[in-house]
A and B are shown apart, each in its own frame.
Chain A
Amino acid sequence: MRKLRNIFILIVVIAIVAALLFLFRGCGKTEEKGAEVDTISYMLQQIQQCSRLYVSEYQVRKIVTHRDESRISARLFGSEINVALPASDRRVAIPINATLKAYIDMSEVKPQDVTRRADGKIEVHLPEPVVVTTATGIDYDGMKQHTSLFGKDFSDEELSSYETRGRKEIINEIPHLGIKEDARRSAAKMLIPIISYLGMQQEDIVITFTPDGKRKGSGAIERITH
């Protein structure tokens, strides 16, 4: 009977110690929140009136690659252990195609931007071309994936994350692709014939481009005549 009582006391003591440990563990940590998602923005449709004259279209391609393996990392009495799990590596290569277009914002063309020069030529001052990414697509046929025996398949979330980062890199590289220079030439090539329909010789039309931030009819940097 006495023995039974001792065992009972022992169990109670262990339970109290365990409960206290759980309690202290809870107090020591801040509450972790899951990623908050703004559900209001879903299914949003935004209509915007604009006046953009697209003059050049570029198709570009980038391949995003990712490679990883499961690694067990552990701290044992102050020393760090980091070991790769065998046959756990995964690889993926995602080709991303993007359509870039250069446009002239025609809503910025004001009456003072169309002038008649002393030599009788009509001069049209246009804002600098702007380059935007109008579409991106994943080349699923060209996509390659490899998962080893103990590797986990890539989740949709992981793939989307790599694709989004690839897209960002494409956008960051736009200034180095020389699209703006081409766009100026294309804009002139497109607008001069249209303006000539009004009864002018194409030689009498001059298109100039004003640098960003100097849209008051001064500082034209490039003149293009037919």
Chain B
Amino acid sequence: MLRKLKIFAITSAVVIIAGFALWFWFFSPMGVSIRRSDDIATTKTYVTAMRDIGQWEFLAINDEELVDTVDKGFFSDKELIRIYYGTLRLGIDFSQCDETWINVDGDSITLDLPQVKLLDENFIDEARTQAFFETGSWTNKDRQSLTMKAHRMMKDRCLTKKNLDLAQEAAEQQVMQFLRLIKKQQTE
């Protein structure tokens, strides 16, 4: 009888202790976590350069590119995938026009516009880039190379003959339309 009681007491004690330990672990009077702050600080925005320009944009192509790089290692490969955003602007840069691009003869206007082109080679919104997937560690140089790859991909995708033709057509139409408005008032 005593032996039975002893076993019952031990069993009960073990069950209670195990139950308490499990409850303690999962329902936390004590929860442990490792945290890092997410705060940033910034300096004031400084203007480093400014200039007058004369660029008339007729076609804007917003592009997103999923760009990846893989580094094959001895034991395992590492991979970095990022999503880049950019806007390629096609139009006319008036700094390339001389005074003869407009010819007026009476009421008629003739335009000799230059070919539309990519107005700015600097078109990637790199600070908007999204990190998509990363294994292993990567250097700034790797990220820089990936940005250059995105730059090439966007140009290949967007600077098509079709888009350039579309921009050229819009350029001739819209510049002429604006000048005709002025000419009409001048002659009235």
Using a CB–CB cutoff of 8 Å, the interface residues on chain A facing chain B are 6, 9-10, 13-14, 17-18, 21-22, 25, 41-78, 85, 96-99, 101, 103, 106-107, 109, 111, 113-116, 122, 124, 133-138, 140, 143, 153, 155-157, 159-167, 169-170, 173, 177, 182, 186, 189-190, 194-195, 197-200
Contact = CB atoms under 8 A, between A and B. Distances in A.
B131 A159 contact: yes
A46 B61 contact: yes
B185 A116 contact: yes
A70 to B, nearest CB: 5
A95 to B, nearest CB: 9
Contacts, number: 281
Given A48-B62, A85-B34, 6 more contacts: A59-B49, A64-B42, A134-B89, A134-B120, A159-B131, A163-B127
A158 to B, nearest CB: 8
Given A45-B62, A65-B41, A198-B186, A52 B18 contact: no
B41 A49 contact: no
Q: Which of A25, A53, A71, A161 has the most C-beta atoms of chain B within 10 angstroms of its own C-beta?
A: A53
B126 A138 contact: yes
A74 B149 CA distance: 45
B109 A198 contact: yes
B141 interface: yes
Nearest to B89: A134
Interface in B139-184: 140-141, 143-144, 147, 157-158, 163, 166, 170, 174, 178-179, 181-184
A98 B127 contact: yes
Contact of A58 (B49, B60, B131): B49
A164 B87 contact: no
Nearest to A90: B36
Q: Is the interface of B mostly helix, strand, loop or mixed?
A: mixed
A156 B79 CA distance: 11
A164 B18 CA distance: 49
Contact of B57 (A41, A52, A63, A194): A52
B92 to A, nearest CB: 10
Contacts of B14: 10, 14
A122 B54 contact: no
B66 interface: yes
Interface string B89-133: 101001000010010100001000000000110111111111100
A189 B129 contact: no
Nearest to B167: A49
Contacts of A75: 28-31
